[in-house]
Amino acid sequence: MDNLRAIALMCVAMACFAIEDMVIKIVARDLPTWQIFLLMGGVGLVMFASLCRRHGLPLISRAFLHPLVLVRNTGEIIAALGFVTALTLVELSLATAILQGTPLAVTAAAALVLGEQVGWRRWVAVGLGMVGILIILDPFGADFRPEALLALLGVLGLVLRDIATRRIPQTIPTPQLTFWGVSSYVLCGVILFPFQPGVVVPAPATWAVLVGGAVMGASGYWALTTATRLGEVSAVVPFRYTRLIFAMALGVLVLGERPAATTLLGAALVVGTGLYTVLRERRLARAAAAPAC
């Protein structure tokens, strides 16, 4: 295990994803959401198709119809529709803060659906994290943004994806899974097209930004996959929260956002409880692995 390199790659991945999210917000000023999905998804498909070919893997195989793969891809579609649409409507920092509730939601779903053991301390952490999400949403406040609920839909999609991924057979290669996951972007564009008719021809500058964002997203996928294979999960996972730091920095410095106090407070609670959950799982894993005296 090479934890230091894995941690560095995880931070790179989160920075890439934050930049991709910022790009989506920028190009959404000129392009309909369906077209963003289609164009960025197309670039991603070309990149990951090349990766599959390099590994000698077919783009489509019988494994594509495996029930868990279908569930995973459904989760990808729900997550993309929810989170990307939220990005086009609300602040980058707000949408990203809500997304940080995903690890806690996965912990709860793993216990309820997969029967994994979760002690009372982690259940309390999950509960407090959900309170943090409510603080971020601020549903009873004057500044409540109903569109932010779409980011919550994105969280539910990611939970479905991650739970299915845990049970997908290891015999199905990662490049194939990633290619099929990225194809969900294209499908999202097809789904949204009837609701946003019309085609906009992107200006050269918009094309450049779009391609750059797609490359960042694909690079983030690669760095994330490599990080999880190089290092211990318990050492690497906490650094997924750096995405919020990068997103807030880009939101303030590039997009001119000013995160609300409720967003900052709720995000701190979500990240704090999420880190506690990860560290608690790490401690329990080490205790279980320790030899009996």
Are 148 and 90 in contact, with CB atoms under 8 Å apart? yes
Cβ neighbours, 10 Å, residue 96: 28
DSSP 290: S
The alpha-carbon radius of gyration of the chain (Å, integer) is 19
Mean pLDDT, rounded, for 62-72: 93
Tens of pLDDT, residues 151-210: 999 999 999 988 888 888 888 888 898 899 889 889 999 999 998 878 888 889 999 999
Which positions ≥6 away from 227 have C-beta within 8 Å? 6, 7, 9, 10, 13, 236
Report if residue 79 sits inside a domain: yes
Report if residue 258 sits inside a domain: yes
Tens of pLDDT, residues 17-34: 999 999 999 999 889 999
Residue type at 112?
Answer: L
Q: Say how far apart CA 31 and CA 87 lie, in whole Å.
A: 13
For the chain, the average pLDDT equals 89
| Residue 13 structural domain | 3-284
Give the count of alpha carbons within 13 A of 10, CB side only.
22
Report if residue 289 sits inside a domain: no
Q: What is the DSSP string of 24-70?
A: HHHHTTTS-HHHHHHHHHHHHHHHHHHHHHHTT--SS-GGGG-HHHH
Cβ neighbours, 10 Å, residue 261: 9
Residue type at 195?
Answer: F
Q: Say how far apart CA 245 and CA 259 lie, in whole Å.
A: 12
Phi, psi of 200 (to 5 degrees): -110, 125
Q: Say how far apart CA 111 and CA 108 lie, in whole Å.
A: 5
Are 241 and 271 in contact, with CB atoms under 8 Å apart? yes
Report if residue 72 sits inside a domain: yes
**Quick one: pLDDT at residue 225?**
77
Report if residue 291 sits inside a domain: no
Report if residue 173 sits inside a domain: yes
Total structural domains in the chain? 1
Report if residue 292 sits inside a domain: no
Residue type at 182?
Answer: V
Residue type at 187?
Answer: L
**Quick one: pLDDT at residue 236?**
81
Cβ neighbours, 10 Å, residue 165: 15
Report if residue 290 sits inside a domain: no
Percent of the chain with pLDDT over 90: 55
Q: Say how far apart CA 38 and CA 18 lie, in whole Å.
A: 19
Are 246 and 14 in contact, with CB atoms under 8 Å apart? yes
Instruction: Provide the Cα torsion 46, 48, 54, 59; round to 10°.
Output: -90
**Quick one: pLDDT at residue 213?**
92
DSSP 31: S
Q: Say how far apart CA 85 and CA 152 lie, in whole Å.
A: 11
